[in-house]
Amino acid sequence: MLVNRRILLIITGGISAFKSLDLIRRLRGKGALITPVMTAAAAEFVTPLSVSALAGQKVYQDLFNLTDEAEMGHIELSRSADLIVVAPASADVMAKMVAGHANDLASTLLLATDTPVLVAPAMNVRMWHHPATQRNIVRLSEDNIHFVGPNQGDMACGESGLGRMAEPMEIVKTIDQLFMDMDGKKPLSGKRALVTSGRTHEPIDPVRYIANRSSGAQGSAIANALLSAGAEVEFVTGPADVAPPVGVQVTRVQTAKEMLKAVEAALPCDVAIFAAAVADWRVVVENDSKMKKENGKLPILEFAENPDILSTVAHRDVGRPALVIGFAAETDNIVKNACAKLDKKGCDWIVANDVSPETGVMGGNENAVHLITAQGVDTWDRMGKTKVAERLVQKISDVMVEE
């Protein structure tokens, strides 16, 4: 996505300017062409020599440099780029952008252009929270300036809070995303996703079955978010209270065995998300006719274990999706049980949630989840199922774009 993209990288003054070196390295690694610009303050934090060595390009620093003007005027410099990135963006450069100042090369370039601009703010936490900066951010957003960060954390000045520059990898992802938007492409365009959803009904006789309380809301929300991200979605669903989203390829099933068959028929895919609440057991022999009460004699049902669809797909030698995601609905020791499940089922990520009756998750609109990956446990605040789905799909897009 970044091959041969021309990025004008403006580095302003701040301790995080050292991270811009890594940013340049990563962008060039993805094939982008970097033209670096540094303010006088930036050159106090990193040397123009390091910047130009990594960028493989000369660094532009002065507004009134006749050689530069002869080679390429500042107007031309800003217009020849596909994207302008300001990283780190100081409080000062943002204030200048708001006011339309043009008293150094960086501010002049930013004023003389109609190229999209992304800023990665970096400053002390109090500077960030100052009403002037907050006002400027609103104004810049109104001017269609894009933002990435700042992040929360410890600062070089010893304070802690919002104001750290976004990590280079995060900035690269945002740049990737911006180019995709500019091209009218979506992060999962061209990717095939499979979602299992709903519950299963395991028949006892023609009128009775074993089921659970899953509504299918989370699975439908995930399928919807995948569609919005541009993926082609195969949706294998058992009975559910929520309709499948318009635009997915739906296969309706009743039992776990049918769901496994439908899932295998829907492969190959790039990402598979197993959100269905599959019954663990089925009745060995389904009665052909309705079972009758017989003078107080109780029926004895013999159970067999259902195939584990997630585990079967995750353990495939051939045609395993690149990313396999399972759910772990737990009522006790949520994270511990979910970590064990990640290992046992062989999936890449587990979305673990507490489904104790008092949480209202089963059948409700909200979910409080932990995302468990090889990198660790990420605990999300309780939020709507749609938001959980969007955040999960954002994570999926991030790793798929990285591939």
Q: Which positions are annotated as active-site residues?
A: 157
24, 276, 392, 400: which one contacts ligand C5P (CB under 6 A)? 276
Looking at residue 61, what DSSP letter applies?
Answer: -
Under rule CB under 6 A, residue 266 binds ligand C5P: no
For ligand C5P, give the closer residue by CB, 120 or 276. 276
**Least CB distance from residue 58 to ligand C5P, whole Å?**
54
User: Which two three-digit tokens encode residue 125?
Assistant: 């936490």
Q: How many alpha carbons lie under 13 Å from residue 156 in its C-beta half-sphere?
A: 11
Among 39, 214, 306, 367, interactor with ligand C5P by CB under 6 A: 306
| Distance from C-alpha of 236 to C-alpha of 251, rounded to nearest angstrom | 5
The distance of closest approach from Cβ of residue 351 to ligand C5P in the complex, given in angstroms and rounded to an integer, is 8
Determine, following the binding rule CB under 6 A, whether residue 215 of this chain makes contact with ligand C5P.
no
What is the nearest approach in angstroms of ligand C5P to the Cβ of residue 307? 6
Is 326 a binder of ligand C5P (CB under 6 A)? Answer: yes
Q: Could you please report the per-residue DSSP string of 64-120?
A: S-HHHHHH--HHHHHHT-SEEEEEEE-HHHHHHHHHT--SSHHHHHHHS--S-EEEE
Does residue 149 interact with ligand C5P by CB under 6 A? no
Residues of this chain, 61-100, that bind ligand C5P according to CB under 6 A: none
Q: How far is Cα 223 from Cα 248, in angstroms, rounded to an integer? A: 7
Residues 6 or more apart in contact with residue 337 via CB below 8 angstroms: 328, 330, 352
Q: How far is the CB of 337 from ligand C5P (least distance, A)?
A: 8
Tell me, what DSSP letter sits at residue 60? B
How buried is 366 (Cβ within 10 angstroms: 0-12 exposed, 13-18 middle, 19+ buried)? middle
Taking alpha carbons only, the member of 141, 93, 142, 148 closest to residue 118 is 148
**327 makes contact with ligand C5P (CB under 6 A):** yes
Contact region with ligand C5P (CB under 6 A), list: 17-25, 97-105, 201-209, 272-280: 272-280
Residue of 86, 278, 323, 393 that binds ligand C5P (CB under 6 A): 278
As a whole number of angstroms, the distance between CA 172 and CA 134 comes to 24
Least distance (Å) between residue 250 CB and ligand C5P: 17
Angle between helices 385-402 and 217-228 (to 10 degrees): 40
Q: Please list every residue from 168 through 207 that binds ligand C5P, using CB under 6 A.
A: 196
Strands, E, within 186-280: which ranges? 192-197, 202-205, 208-210, 232-237, 249-252, 271-274
- Nearer to ligand C5P by Cβ, of 42 and 273: the residue is 273
On whether the CB atoms of residues 155 and 164 are closer than 8 A, the answer is yes
Of 219-258, binders to ligand C5P (CB under 6 A) are 256
Q: Is 310 in the site for ligand C5P (CB under 6 A)?
A: yes
Closest distance between ligand C5P and the C-beta of residue 310, in Å? 3
Of residues 117, 240, 314, 328, which one binds ligand C5P by CB under 6 A?
A: 328
Per rule CB under 6 A, count of chain residues that contact ligand C5P: 13
| Burial zone of 343 (CB within 10 Å; 0-12 exposed, 13-18 middle, 19+ buried) | exposed
Interface pattern 330-369 for ligand C5P (x via CB under 6 A): -----------x----------------------------
Q: Which residue of 82, 202, 234, 308 would you call a contact of ligand C5P, by CB under 6 A? A: 308
Beta bridge partners of 147: 119
Using the rule CB under 6 A, is 309 a contact of ligand C5P?
yes
Q: Please, which of residues 94-133 interact with ligand C5P by CB under 6 A? A: none
Q: Which residues contact 322 (CB under 8 A, 6 or more apart)?
A: 270, 271, 400, 403
Please give the residue ranges that form the binding site for ligand C5P (CB under 6 A). 196, 256, 274, 276, 278, 306, 308-310, 326-328, 341
